[in-house]
Structure 1
Amino acid sequence: MLSVNRSLVIPVTALLLLLAGCSTKQPRNPDSICSIFDENPGWHRDALDMNERWGTPIPVAMAIMYQESTFRHNARPPMQYFLGVIPTGRASSAYGYSQALTSTWNDYARETGRRFASRSNFSDAIDFIGWYTDKSHKINGISKWDARAQYLAYHEGWGGYRNRSYQQKNWLMNVADRVDQRAGRFTTQYNSCKDNLSRRRWLW
């Protein structure tokens, strides 16, 4: 029988858990927050860290991320074509889980000191959403529990939200309603499983 060096068990286990937290595979069931965190335990730890740092409810941040990328690490706007043939570039520089624009992401990285943060990294992306919603609260007075208003500010920017640019975009207000509804569903789901998820976290 092969002997096992017990001194290696904990470091190897920790490495496997770290790699699990870095998963870029889209969740099998993105409509269930419990399923998402059960499949990606590291994501739950990242979401808890975001909540502790910025105070944004996990279901609200996850509902925004769902709308932006459906949890795809390399999501970006579709390529645009001239005459349906010649590529002319993408509609914006949005990229990653949070679909953050390059300029806004750079502001986040500078203000938080996360120089090497990546938009295709879930931990960085959900922290970005926490940072953004926290600033929406400070700048525009939006409750961090108000998923609808938070999404409108997320999409339109703090100045656009203040000027109510979204009122001219019925399609956007409909999307914001869906984000709000999803945040409600995610809240109900999360309340049913967060204790089990937290117990797993402490066991690790």
Structure 2
Amino acid sequence: MDRQGRAPGVVARAVRWLLIVGLGLLASGCAMLAPSPPQDQSNICEIFREQPEWYDYARDAQEQWGTPIATQMAFVQRESSFRSHVRPPRKRILGIFPGPRSSSARGYAQAQDPVWGEYQDDAGSLFARRTHMQDATDFIGWYNARTHRQLGISLHNPEHLYLAYHEGAGGYRRGSYRNKPRVRQAARQVGALASRYQSQLAACEAEFRCRRFYQVWPFCRG
């Protein structure tokens, strides 16, 4: 017993409970601070009007790695529908109890743990987060640049970039996607969305290049 007559076990349980509650509140707070998914995900101009800093992140990734802004955003829409903390659902044990998730994919780009670790070692900060759009677009750019080096796929071919993104370089070489009609359909949809985004962006990109008070044409980024 301590000086106030409380059993050490009771104190320890109380401390553990406070830690659990604190961590839960912290996680909830982080989720609440994350941007809501754009209302109109079919129009890249409206997406960037809701979240103009996403344009800056995608533009930086394009300049660093070469993947067009429209392709990056098409990947994010397909992978997560612009939801920052989305993860694969858990499997059910006996149809009742929550079991493991189908993969470690997480965040805007649905990057899995192994390849995210490779990205951090090669190009990203140790503090990079899959739930932050800046890091997600940079990851997509980095991954596609690696795909281009390894497989020779053009950075302007979003359909096949997505096939390699989904299947990995080895799977793409083996043609694993050929027996996966859903994957091929998803890749076609990514290609079509990237094309649509590109056409839309051509009509509205100027407003995002020069939107800040210190960015005055023609000195803002071209």
Q: TM-score, length-normalised on structure 1? A: 0.86
Residue number in structure 1 paired with 2:63: 52
On the 8 A contact 1:56/1:130 being kept in 2, the answer is yes
Would you say how many aligned residue pairs link Structure 1 and Structure 2? Answer: 183
Identity %: 42
Residue number in structure 2 paired with 1:13: none
Mapped partners of 1:148, 1:113: distance in 2: 25
Mapped partners of 1:180, 1:61: distance in 2: 11
Mapped partners of 2:87, 2:60: distance in 1: 26
Residue number in structure 2 paired with 1:43: 54
On the 8 A contact 2:34/2:84 being kept in 1, the answer is no
Among candidates 128, 131, 134, match of residue 142 of structure 2: 131
Mapped partners of 2:116, 2:150: distance in 1: 18
Among candidates 3, 14, 26, match of residue 37 of structure 2: 26
CA distance 1:88–1:163, shift in 2 (3 Å): same
Report matched runs for 1:62-77 at 5 Å: 62-77=73-88
Residue number in structure 2 paired with 1:100: 111
Report matched runs for 1:1-204 at 5 Å: 23-201=34-212, 202=215
Mapped partners of 1:159, 1:172: distance in 2: 16
- Cα root mean square deviation, aligned: 1.4
Larger Rg, first or second structure (1 or 2): 2
SS in 1 for 2:211: helix
Residue number in structure 2 paired with 1:4: none
Q: Tell me which of the two structures has the higher relative contact order, counting C-alpha pairs closer than 8 angstroms and 6 or more residues apart.
A: 1
Superposed CA offset, 1:72-131 (max 9, x none): 000111111023212221100000000000111010011014111000000000100000
Ranges in structure 1 where 5+ consecutive residues have no aligned partner: 1-21
Mapped partners of 1:113, 1:32: distance in 2: 29
Ranges in structure 2 where 5+ consecutive residues have no aligned partner: 1-32
